[in-house]
Amino acid sequence: MSGKYSNTLVHRFLHWEQAQPDAIYLTESTPDGTVVDYTWREVGDQARRAAAWLQAQALPPRSAISIIGKNSAHWIIADLAIWLAGHVSVPLLPGTSAEMARYVLQHCDVRMILVGKLDDMAEGWSALRGVMQAHAPLVALPMSPPLPDAIQWQTIVAQHEPLREVHLPQPGELATIIYTSGSTGQPKGVMHSFGAIYAYAIESGKFSGFGTGDRVLSYLPLAHTAERSFVESNSLCYGFRVFFNDSLATFPQDLLRARPTVFISMPRLWTRFYRSVMDRLPASQQALIHEFSPEGAALRKKILTMLGLDTTRMAFTGSAPLPAEITDWYRALGLELLDVYGMTENFSYSHYSRPGQVRLGYSGQAMPGVECRIAENGEILVKSPTMMLGYYRQPELTAQSTTEDGFFRTGDCGELDELGRLKITGRVKEMFKTSKGKYVTPSPIENLMNHPKMESVCVTGAGYPQPFALLLLSAAARAEMQDMRGRETLRTEMKELLDSVNAQLDKHEKLAFVVLVKEPWTADNGCLTPTMKMRRRVIEERYMPLATEWAERAEAVIFEDE
């Protein structure tokens, strides 16, 4: 990575534009089912034309320009155009509320908004659009909602020649501001430099062994750091191909089309893959997966091919531990799931599990250049070459988040084992006190609550004598709640789970009861983040008003709808 094109991801893009102009970079399927490929030459041509138009708008240097839309080829092309024109990109999640969008657009003085694919968002789009129209001109990217009053991307591309003298950023220059959704208060604008995101790509790429022949599927939100780093940064640095998922309904076929060589997912999806396969296999074939025989090898290959993961050489997971049986199942198939740990502030670069050294429930060792220590209160402190420049226009918060010797206060609690592998044990702010004055950390208890019929769990109970757990069942298990026999079976199984978990807990941690909630937790209803992590505060606000009534019932297993 030395020579003319080696300082930033912009430089790397210019390299691939010259070195392999006719190689396919981006592949996406459109809503009508058509599959479209974009070569490096075509991506460069469109990005340069849009950059020429942006420069013609005479905006102040390094103006904030926002991108809002689901993952698409033009999300990345738009990001490149912003950088080539010398500006700063500010991504907004497609599900952003009008209130949050208004705050972000005003907080960083956004001068232009590029709107991409926003299908199935009609309900929230009108309010969001009102906020945007009031603040800055709109540019309609391909596959955007109908925006007759917006400037059309196709018009810009048709009317401008490609920009030749593009802006070549310095490593210390601001590249992007990524606003975290925040569990409380206003979102924070995390500032990342070109040098930081390039440092991520260099080191993570070495770890993954990326090359031009690799393929990835983009489906987690590009506005979030995890996908921005794994997909955009790595592909620009190493010149490999990116496929896009069109929708939830097309995910299986999009994954089969991509057949990714490296794949990253959250525990929720790894669990769904596992259950979808196991539900279709008779017991005899389930056992065959673990057998060292020609029949066993053929079945394992068949399963991976069916999932679209038959060429995957490296698979990552993160955000929460997976049950041992699921981890072992993937290992039997030939996929050793590598747990990773990172956050917006360090551009998702902190700890990765090493192949052959995976320890269940741990996120692996510190990556090159990362220092980690555990504070007296159990908080994880990290320092890395990918750290943010700070929180935009919040110097006091930036200072509060950093120790005197430059370590970032992650807000996570953790512990290190003898090999330096990191275990996340909870959030500093998630610990709550019972009415008996005892502190409870929910995450370790939640990690014990593994059951094939359960999709998610939230342990809560601040101010009550004992904690309790809210259980979200899988869709199939929720269907069992519709008849009395299925309901009683669930009651028995959840009581057994409760007893098993309580047997492993200290007295003050033992769960008084579990509640089987009736409605799923989703990003749409605010209970999950766009990357499928629980929003604990939202969930607690939703259910805590019922807690006193539940506690008074003195039952071990409670159905919310009873």
Locate tokens 């009609």: which residue? 122
More confident residue, 229 or 507: 229
State residue 2's pLDDT score.
43
Residue 532 scores a pLDDT above 80: no
Domains defined along the chain, listed by start: 9-242 (3.40.50.980), 262-310+312-341 (no CATH), 361-422 (2.30.38.10), 429-559 (3.30.300.30)
**Per-residue pLDDT averaged across 354-380, rounded?**
93
More confident residue, 537 or 11: 11
CB of 156 closer than 8 Å to CB of 53: yes
Average pLDDT, the chain: 92
Nearest CA to 543 out of 460, 478, 464 is that of 460
Contacting residues for 295 by C-beta, under 8 A, at least 6 apart: 288
State residue 247's pLDDT score.
86
* Residue 115, CA atoms < 13 Å, CB-side half-sphere: 26
**Per-residue pLDDT averaged across 539-557, rounded?**
93
More confident residue, 429 or 64: 64
Q: How confident is the model at residue 123 (pLDDT cuts 50, 70, 90)?
A: low
CB of 55 closer than 8 Å to CB of 65: no
In whole angstroms, what separates CA 151 from the centre of its chain? 31
Between 34-38, 224-228, 272-276, 426-430, the lowest mean confidence (pLDDT) is in: 426-430
Alpha helices in 113-179 (DSSP H): 122-135, 153-159
- DSSP reduced 3-state for 102: helix
| CB neighbours of residue 476 within 10 Å | 12
Residue 540 scores a pLDDT above 50: yes
Q: What does each C-alpha distance from 295 to 291, 312, 429, 513 come to in angstroms?
A: 8, 21, 50, 45
State residue 531's pLDDT score.
66
148: burial class by Cβ within 10 Å (0-12, 13-18, 19+)? Answer: exposed
Q: What does each C-alpha distance from 135 to 82, 110, 139, 155, 232 come to in angstroms?
A: 18, 8, 13, 22, 28
CB of 195 closer than 8 Å to CB of 172: yes
**Per-residue pLDDT averaged across 94-113, rounded?**
91
Contacting residues for 198 by C-beta, under 8 A, at least 6 apart: 7, 8, 9, 12, 171, 233, 237
Contacting residues for 506 by C-beta, under 8 A, at least 6 apart: none
Encode 158-168: b = buried (16+ Cβ within 10 Å), e = exposed.
eebebbeebbb
497: burial class by Cβ within 10 Å (0-12, 13-18, 19+)? Answer: buried
Dist CA 527 CA 534 (whole Å):
6
- DSSP reduced 3-state for 215: strand
Q: pLDDT tens-digit profile of 460-497?
A: 998 899 999 999 999 889 999 888 999 999 999 999 99
Residue 549 scores a pLDDT above 90: yes
CB of 215 closer than 8 Å to CB of 258: yes
State residue 397's pLDDT score.
93
If you count them, how many residues does the chain have?
A: 562
**Per-residue pLDDT averaged across 373-387, rounded?**
94
CB of 269 closer than 8 Å to CB of 298: no
Can you give the C-alpha Rg of the chain in angstroms? 24
**Per-residue pLDDT averaged across 358-365, rounded?**
92
Q: How confident is the model at residue 561 (pLDDT cuts 50, 70, 90)?
A: confident
In this structure, what are the phi and psi dihedrals at residue 514, rounded to the nearest 5 degrees? -125, 150
DSSP 534: B
Residue 372 scores a pLDDT above 70: yes
State residue 122's pLDDT score.
58
State residue 99's pLDDT score.
86
- DSSP reduced 3-state for 6: coil
The residues that bridge with 469 in the sheet, in sequence order, are 459, 514
**Per-residue pLDDT averaged across 527-539, rounded?**
82
State residue 121's pLDDT score.
60
The residues that bridge with 471 in the sheet, in sequence order, are 457, 516
Q: How far apart are the first and last CA of the chain?
A: 63
Dist CA 414 CA 57 (whole Å):
49
State residue 62's pLDDT score.
97
Q: pLDDT tens-digit profile of 43-87?
A: 999 999 999 999 999 999 999 999 999 999 999 999 999 999 999
Contacting residues for 222 by C-beta, under 8 A, at least 6 apart: 71, 75, 76, 91, 228, 231, 232
Between 267-276, 304-313, 407-416, the lowest mean confidence (pLDDT) is in: 267-276
The proportion of the chain whose per-residue pLDDT surpasses 70, expressed as a percent, equals 96
Q: pLDDT tens-digit profile of 241-282?
A: 999 999 888 899 999 999 999 999 988 889 889 988 988 888
State residue 525's pLDDT score.
87
State residue 3's pLDDT score.
47
Dist CA 507 CA 155 (whole Å):
67
Alpha-carbon torsion (451, 276, 318, 311), positive or negative: positive
Q: How confident is the model at residue 20 (pLDDT cuts 50, 70, 90)?
A: very high
**Per-residue pLDDT averaged across 521-549, rounded?**
86
State residue 1's pLDDT score.
47
**Per-residue pLDDT averaged across 208-234, rounded?**
96
| CB neighbours of residue 334 within 10 Å | 16
State residue 137's pLDDT score.
93
Dist CA 15 CA 240 (whole Å):
13
State residue 450's pLDDT score.
87
State residue 124's pLDDT score.
65
